[in-house]
Amino acid sequence: MNKAAWSKIWLTILGWLIGAMFFYPIFWMAITAFKTEKGAYSPDIFFIPTLESFGEVFARSDYFLFFRNSVVVSFGSTILCFILAIPSAYRMAFYPTQKSQSTMLWMLSTKMMPAVGVLIPIYIIWQWLHLLDTITGLIIIYTLMNLPIAVWMSYTYFSEVPKGILEAGRIDGATATQELWHLLRPMTMPGLSSTALLLIILAWNEAFWSINLSSAKAAPLTVFIASYSSPEGLFWAKLSAASLLAVAPIMVMGWLTQKQLVRGLTFGAVK
């Protein structure tokens, strides 16, 4: 074999080894979820899988409540984000004014506020408004948190639509609604849906606000898992089963949107 072929084999080994190292904790968690509590502490990879731990997690009657809260909060905030973001993104992409650019940057700058800087007032205001430990309270926070990303991403996808197509539609007598529904929607759908997935991922995994603003009624899965910190964390199989259920759907989404993710996370600075 020549030198190039050998180097490709070495690269393959190295690349997979590093991939395996990074994935190991997740792999280990996934494996342990199917072990018995007694067998969990043994380092075996081969064993008879059991759904015992999942049964126990589900038996904690509130598991589905946490799961439901996570779904409602992350989907709810994402939908609300789009309702608020799309009109402005549309306006700035198709009818830009001199102020558009500075408005975009200003929106981005609201994300630069570290959450911890406003934790105390938000906690107290939420207490005043009776929003503590409510789904609405979390949806509001997550919407505000993700809104700048939603505007930026929608804006970049709208900007990529060739202006000529919309003009041609208008000349052919398309009304504004028709233009939006029949031209813009199909063309920007792929971009906007990956944006939606990114927003769902960010909201699903958010742990600062959820831990501080919710406890029993509105708590999403991040808070539920945090409750395993002690002493239940010693029950590896149960911890793993609960974690696997919380992580798996989002990881699949993340893998699917991988390519668009970079753009969303860097506000379009890296594509």
Partner 1 sequence: MSVKSPPSALAEEFSAPIQTIDPAEKWRRLLMWPSVVPLLMWMIVPLAFTIYFSFIRYNLLNPANTGFAFFQNYQFLVGDASFWPAVFNTLIFIGAVLIITVVVGVLLAVLYDQDFYGKNIAMLLVIAPFFVMPTVSALIWKNMIMHPVYGSIALFLQKFGIAPVDWFADLPLISIIIIVSWEWIPFSFLILVTALKSLDQEQKEAASIDGAGHFTKFRYIVLPHLEKAIGVVVMIEMIFLLSIFAEIYTTTGGGPGNATTTLAYLVYALGLQQFDAGIASAGGILAIILANIVSIFLVRMLAKNLSQEK
Contact between 95 and partner 1 by CB under 8 A: the answer reads yes
Whether 50 contacts 35, CB under 8 Å: yes
Q: How far is the CB of 182 from partner 1 (least distance, A)?
A: 19
**Segment near partner 1 (CB under 8 A), from 47-55, 60-68, 145-153, 188-196?**
145-153
Contact between 18 and partner 1 by CB under 8 A: the answer reads yes
Q: Which residue has 């929003």 as its token pair?
A: 131
The CA distance from 231 to 259, in Å, is 40
Answer for which of 44, 49, 55, 109 binds partner 1 (CB under 8 A) is 109
Q: How far is the CB of 58 from partner 1 (least distance, A)?
A: 18
Residue 121 or residue 164: which is nearer to partner 1 going by CB?
Answer: 121
Give me the amino acid identity at 107.
M
**Segment near partner 1 (CB under 8 A), from 48-56, 57-65, 188-196, 230-238?**
230-238
Answer for which of 113, 129, 168, 189 binds partner 1 (CB under 8 A) is 113
> What are the backbone dihedrals phi and psi of residue 173, each rounded to the nearest 5 degrees, phi first?
90, 20
Percent helix, strand, coil in the chain (nearest 5)? 75, 0, 25
Subset of residues 176 to 215 that bind partner 1, contact rule: CB under 8 A: 201, 204-205, 207-208, 211-212
**Segment near partner 1 (CB under 8 A), from 44-52, 60-68, 118-126, 179-187?**
118-126
The CA distance from 20 to 34, in Å, is 20
Q: How far is the CB of 65 from partner 1 (least distance, A)?
A: 17
Contact between 129 and partner 1 by CB under 8 A: the answer reads no
Question: How far does CA 145 lie from the centroid of its chain?
Answer: 12
Draw the binding track, 31-60, toward partner 1 (x: CB under 8 A; -: no contact): -x--------x-x-----------------
Question: How far does CA 183 lie from the centroid of its chain?
Answer: 28
How many CB atoms are located within 10 Å of the residue 90 CB? 16
Contact between 122 and partner 1 by CB under 8 A: the answer reads yes
Of the candidates 137, 167, 22, the one whose C-alpha atom is nearest the C-alpha of residue 72 is 137
